[in-house]
């Protein structure tokens, strides 16, 4: 299972099998064996072709277009593409989430992982922020490292995935950035607190240096507590994350991008905390609305035994004094999603991916 070859047909057999071991600690021997193979790069086009071969009996990917949001003159530098996505933990999708309109066949990992990889390869993010990652060690780290990404994973201390039989270890947040575009300056794994108590939710915050511009910025990924009735808890977690990020960014001197599944509608207190923070944050996907003030109508849409759930929970926040949003990927329409909602044979998660292109403000010292 651990062998990885140079040819497309032997991409560590990643698209044909995964490690059978269920505990993260049990992957370590295999990871040591993969060290030399990990140095062999993969051509993303080859990997995409392999994914498409596996998926040839499934419907084609949905077409989504980028919306141009540039208001200023073009920057002299390439934009930074950031992708945010709750990919749906495999153990939860199969064992706990109970998507009553989604056939179990659509959730098969051998094919679903190809749908996830296809989505990532299609949009080619410079920085990738994922939640509910429970196949980090056997799929995402081995493959994405060979695509040129530096990879970081921080699992939940008490992941609900561990309650599912034949799980693949805990789920958590993962952060990936292209090593040829950025240099890692500092990295922090944050276990979020609420009411002074450590919680089961986590964040990763990394300070990167853009090789092209020499500019520093901080990228963070998080996943806050789910479910109705936990609004005050999410608010406390958000306050803790903001406090940590104020320290890391030296009070907003370093530009900041925060990606996450906040499990909170825009009406919640935690959303207002981020909107009104001294870090001067704005939500990138608001810019898709006609007035630039409204979030999308949904970022997740699923059907469970309790009924249909259509919510806006996922966000990309950014320092609006230091960064510009050049473009954002449009969301799937209701017609594309279809009556059975998500996940489906077409789409691997119950959450939509969000993708934005950022550029640095040419006047970085200007604070609004």
Q: State both tokens at 363.
A: 């006047």
Q: For residues 163 and 34, which has the higher predicted lDDT (pLDDT)?
A: 163
Beta strand 300-304 with 216-223 is unpaired
Question: Confidence band (pLDDT; 50, 70, 90) for 51?
Answer: very high
pLDDT at 31: 47
Q: What is the DSSP letter of 78?
A: P
* 161 phi and psi angles, rounded to 5 deg: -60, -30
Residue for token digits 């789920």? 171
What is the model's pTM? 0.91
Task: Check pLDDT > 80 for residue 158.
Answer: yes
Q: Poorest-confidence range of 125-129, 206-210, 351-355, 363-367? A: 363-367
In a domain, 140, yes or no: yes
pLDDT tens column, 226-281: 999 999 999 999 999 999 999 999 999 999 999 999 999 999 999 999 999 999 99
Structural domain for 320, as ranges? 77-366
In 3D space, the residue among 298, 239, 232, 290 whose CA is nearest the CA of residue 265 turns out to be 298
Task: Check pLDDT > 60 for residue 68.
Answer: yes
Q: Poorest-confidence range of 5-14, 287-296, 355-364? A: 5-14
In a domain, 41, yes or no: no
Mean pLDDT of 23-40: 50
pLDDT at 2: 34
Task: Check pLDDT > 50 for residue 36.
Answer: no
Question: Confidence band (pLDDT; 50, 70, 90) for 39?
Answer: low
Task: Check pLDDT > 50 for residue 12.
Answer: no
How many domains does the chain contain in total? Answer: 1
pLDDT tens column, 78-108: 999 999 999 999 999 998 888 989 999 999 9
Helix and strand totals (H; E) in the chain: 9, 15
Q: State both tokens at 203.
A: 């964040």
Mean pLDDT of 7-13: 45
- How many angstroms separate the CA atoms of 364 and 348, rounded? 39
In a domain, 17, yes or no: no
In a domain, 342, yes or no: yes
In a domain, 265, yes or no: yes
pLDDT at 16: 52
* Beta-ladder partners of 301: 310
In a domain, 159, yes or no: yes
Prior bond of 343 cis (ω within 30°): yes
In 3D space, the residue among 279, 271, 258 whose CA is nearest the CA of residue 311 turns out to be 271
pLDDT tens column, 189-221: 999 999 899 999 999 999 999 999 999 999 999
Assign residue 165 the CATH number of its domain: 3.60.10.10
pLDDT at 38: 52
Mean pLDDT of 106-117: 97
* Beta-ladder partners of 197: 194
pLDDT at 71: 72
pLDDT at 273: 98
How big is the CA angle at 154 (ends 153 and 156), to the nearest 5 degrees? 140
Task: Check pLDDT > 70 for residue 72.
Answer: no
pLDDT at 368: 38
pLDDT at 32: 45
Mean pLDDT of 172-185: 98
- How many angstroms separate the CA atoms of 26 and 34, rounded? 14
pLDDT tens column, 271-330: 999 999 999 999 999 999 999 999 999 999 999 998 999 999 999 999 999 999 999 999
pLDDT at 167: 94
Mean confidence (pLDDT) of the chain? 89
Task: Check pLDDT > 60 for residue 338.
Answer: yes
In a domain, 63, yes or no: no
In a domain, 13, yes or no: no
Residue percentage of the chain with pLDDT more than 90: 82
Q: How many CA atoms lie within 13 A of 91 on its CB side?
A: 21
Task: Check pLDDT > 90 for residue 8.
Answer: no
């Amino acid at each position: 299972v651990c062998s990885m070859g140079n040819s497309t047909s032997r991409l560590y057999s990643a698209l044909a099998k995964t490690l059978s071991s269920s505990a993260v600690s049990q992957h370590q021997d295999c990871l040591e064996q993969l060290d030399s193979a990990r140095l062999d790069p993969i051509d993303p086009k080859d990997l995409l072709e392999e994914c498409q071969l596996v998926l040839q009996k499934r419907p084609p990917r949905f077409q989504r277009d980028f919306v141009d949001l540039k208001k200023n003159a073009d920057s002299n530098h390439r934009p930074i593409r950031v992708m945010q996505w709750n990919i749906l933990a495999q153990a939860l999708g199969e064992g706990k989430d109970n998507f009553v309109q989604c056939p179990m066949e659509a959730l098969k990992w051998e094919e679903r992982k190809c749908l996830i990889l296809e989505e990532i390869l299609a949009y080619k993010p410079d920085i990738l922020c994922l939640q509910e990652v429970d196949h980090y060690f056997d799929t995402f780290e081995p493959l994405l490292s060979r695509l040129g990404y530096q990879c970081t994973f921080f699992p939940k201390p008490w992941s609900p995935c561990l309650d599912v039989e034949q799980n693949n270890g805990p789920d958590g947040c993962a952060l990936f950035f292209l090593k040829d575009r950025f240099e890692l300056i500092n990295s922090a794994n944050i276990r979020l607190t609420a009411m002074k108590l450590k919680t089961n939710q986590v964040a990763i915050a990394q300070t990167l240096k853009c090789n092209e511009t020499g500019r520093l910025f901080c990228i963070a990924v998080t996943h806050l507590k789910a479910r109705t009735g936990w609004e005050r808890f999410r608010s406390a977690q958000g306050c803790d994350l903001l406090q940590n990020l104020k320290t890391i960014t030296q009070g907003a001197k370093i530009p900041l991008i925060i990606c996450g599944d906040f499990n909170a509608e825009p009406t919640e207190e935690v959303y207002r905390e981020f909107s009104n923070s001294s870090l001067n944050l704005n939500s990138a996907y608001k810019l898709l609305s006609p007035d630039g003030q409204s979030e999308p109508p949904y970022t997740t849409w699923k059907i469970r035994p309790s009924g249909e759930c259509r919510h806006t929970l996922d966000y990309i926040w950014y320092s609006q004094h230091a960064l510009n949003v050049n473009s954002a990927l449009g969301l799937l329409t209701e017609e594309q999603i279809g009556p059975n909602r998500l996940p489906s044979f077409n789409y691997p998660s119950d959450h939509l991916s969000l993708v934005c292109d950022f550029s640095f403000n040419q006047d970085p010292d200007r604070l609004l």
